[in-house]
Amino acid sequence: MRYRDIHELSVSNPRFFWRQKSDLIEWFRKPQEILTEDVNGLARWYEGGLLNTCHLALDRHVDGGRGEQVALFWDSPAAGERRRRTYRELRDDVARFAGALQGLGVAKGDRVVVYMPMIPEAVVAMLACARLGAVHSVVFGGFAPHELAVRIDDVQPRLLITASCGFEASRVVAYKPLVDAALAEARFPPPQVIVFARPQVAAALAPGRDLDWHELVERAEPAACVPVAATDPLYILYTAGTTGRPKGVVRDNGGHAVALRYSLKAIYNTNPGEVFWAASDVGWVVGHSYIVYGPLIHGCSTVLFEGKPVRTPDAGAYWRVIQDYGVSALLAAPTAFRAIRLDDPDAHLRRRYDISTLRSVFLTGERLDPATFEWLNLVLDVPIVDHWWQTETGWPVAANPMGLEPHTVKTGSVTLPVPGFRVAALDDAGTPVAPGKPGHLCLELPLPPGCLTGLWNDSDGFRETYLAAFPGYVRTADGGHLDEDGYVFVAGRTDDVITVAGHRLSTGGMEEILASHPAVAECAVVGIDDPLKGQVPIGLVVLRAGTAGGAAQIEADLVQLIRREIGAVAALRQVIVVARLPKTRTGTILRATIRRLAVEEQIVTPPAIEDPAIVAEIRAALREHRVGQYASQSLAADDAADL
């Protein structure tokens, strides 16, 4: 069947289509229902089915004769280490650690927070939770203690798993002090913490609470896979919220496994036994879907890279990894290649390596700008595939489906909806707009398997965030349009979430932190385009009357406040003190106007603005601070962590 026929079948008869695809995975008990709906009208897939995601990712392959194939390549130029684990070895490691968790009382349905660097033990921890039916919540290791504490309080975990340290480029970062600070702040700290000791940093263990990973594993007995319902949660992954509160996206077991197995062939055209590399972090959805679960469920070898695209040690790092492990498909963020191009514009380092195994490169996480796309096409003789998806969807919404029927590429487009997804561009009233006209990009219900099943402990927030604005659709908060051929063009966010180096961050959350400073009367944070990171945030603040201290010192303090509360990943490098902010006559801050003033020489003054003279004041302040001109020309040492 051709793509158009497959897609039409998937959306016109989803029960039939996804019943067929359910045979891609091994069930302990096959589902009794393929598609039902919950109280929100959201799809529930494969009710009555029993399975175990860890069994699909590991045990099934060992039992089927793939035990000696490499499951995981670990490469850490920062630590100077490499390891590889076969499916049998990884299965045994996971079973033993799951036994250790079981010995501590972790059981089906318990939550476990994982705050770890990019080391094999992070994958072991995730799979061990899945083996027991426990629900893991991985927190990106670049987040500061406050962000970790917020997530701990929301998920209320049975225990937390961490490591003694990680790396940001070549800099060693001690994790345990960050964990200790987060637990001191949290209202619901877990009673136990497991610490994996790395040789670079020793971690002080708190008696009665902290436990050594190695000691636990030595005395543990392997645990068997616990059958779970297809609709039981596999994990909770927090993404930026527009209110400053992170949203805990919940993913199920059954639909997730089916969707990822289907995607590895249909979209990425990868076969069992080949090497798939997602150059991301396990703390993000790309890491969950395409470092850990997708490749392993499909029977691929996956690559876990504790490094950066540049400076570990140079801009040839990606090419070296592709050569060393025989990577067939690479998934990365455009930011990574912008950094590589910045350091090695003529791709001299590329020519040092044999990357003939590479068949395709997939870009996601942010807009693929034309300059980066054109550079990659010059450097690589393989298809460059831009595709679009989100934490909420868990796998691609729109892509050039390399395993079905590759299509003609249109510059700026993420090509066509993936089978299972129906994408619409709607106006503010919820009516589909004409081809080529911009609108709100929305997903028509029902969503296919693998998408979120709700927000953790926040059903009201889920309805308000995703369902209320456009009945019958899920709001993606991205804007864009569809052309006359159905190609999807994504313009960017329509809410206050910006994408910094592939990481989704809430400007509203940053504003809350700035506003907490005693000197700040009001503030606005906006994202502006940046040639390296895609977007970067800037802050404008109005100080309280009678504030002591110079503006320059307060600006520097506020930058450090964001870094301390969110982490270097926020990449907020500039806060500017201004006399007032541009507002409408009703008091709404005109953030879009601030963004345009930062990058455009001429703008039309908004008719609703309270005082047109403020436009010149803000423009002058932005020009004085070189906003719009300060975009990254090189990477400071701590900036490498943002990529």
Residue 467 lies in a domain: no
Q: Would you say residue 242 has pLDDT above 60?
A: no
Residue 70 is encoded by which pair of tokens?
């490499």
Q: Are 160 and 191 in contact (CB under 8 A)?
A: no
Instruction: Dump pLDDT digits (tens) for 124-157.
Output: 999 999 999 999 999 998 788 999 999 999 999 9
Residue 438 lies in a domain: no
Count of structural domains, the chain: 2
Residue 640 is encoded by which pair of tokens?
């490498």
What is the extent of the structural domain holding 147? 87-226
Place of tokens 């670990």: 74
Residue 32 is encoded by which pair of tokens?
């009794």
Residue 142 lies in a domain: yes
Instruction: Dump pLDDT digits (tens) for 572-613.
Output: 889 999 988 887 655 567 887 888 888 776 676 766 566 788
Rounded distance between C-alpha atoms, residue 324 and residue 314, angstroms:
16
Instruction: Dump pLDDT digits (tens) for 18-74.
Output: 999 999 999 999 999 999 998 877 899 999 999 999 999 999 999 999 999 999 999
Report the Cα–Cα distance between both ends of the chain, in Å, rounded.
Answer: 39
What is the rounded average pLDDT for all residues in the chain?
91
Instruction: Give the pairing of strands 192-196 and 171-174.
Output: unpaired
Q: Angle at Cα 51 formed by Cα 45 and Cα 55, nearest 5°? A: 130
- Residue 143 makes CB contacts below 8 A (sequence gap 6+) with 283, 566, 567, 569
Q: Are 154 and 144 in contact (CB under 8 A)?
A: no
Given 189, 207, 226, which residue is the final one in a domain? Answer: 226
Q: State what percent of residues in the chain have pLDDT above 70.
A: 94
Given 226, 246, 266, which residue is the final one in a domain? Answer: 226
Residue 140 lies in a domain: yes
Residue 151 lies in a domain: yes
* pLDDT the model gives residue 267: 98
Rounded distance between C-alpha atoms, residue 441 and residue 448, angstroms:
17
Instruction: Give the pairing of strands 81-86 and 70-76.
Output: antiparallel
Residue 389 lies in a domain: no
Q: State what percent of residues in the chain have pLDDT above 90.
A: 71
590: domain CATH number is 3.30.300.30
Is residue 248 classed as helix, strand or coil in its secondary structure? Answer: strand
Instruction: Dump pLDDT digits (tens) for 472-492.
Output: 999 999 989 999 999 999 987
Q: Would you say residue 240 has pLDDT above 90?
A: no
Q: Which amino acid is at 465?
A: T
* pLDDT the model gives residue 633: 35
Instruction: Tell me the mean pLDDT in the region 420-440.
Output: 95
Rounded distance between C-alpha atoms, residue 365 and residue 235, angstroms:
20
Q: Please give the C-alpha separations between residue 53 and each of 72, 83, 122, 251, in angstroms, as whole numbers.
A: 17, 24, 16, 12
128: domain CATH number is 3.40.50.980
Residue that wins the pLDDT comparison between 438 and 129 = 129
Q: Angle at Cα 203 formed by Cα 197 and Cα 207, nearest 5°? A: 110
3-state SS string for 385-417: EECECCCCCCCCCEECCCCCCCCCCCCCCCCEE
The count of other CB atoms within 10 Å of the CB of residue 321 is: 22
Q: Are 600 and 622 in contact (CB under 8 A)?
A: no
Residue 72 lies in a domain: no
Given 206, 226, 246, which residue is the final one in a domain? Answer: 226
Q: Which amino acid is at 50?
A: L
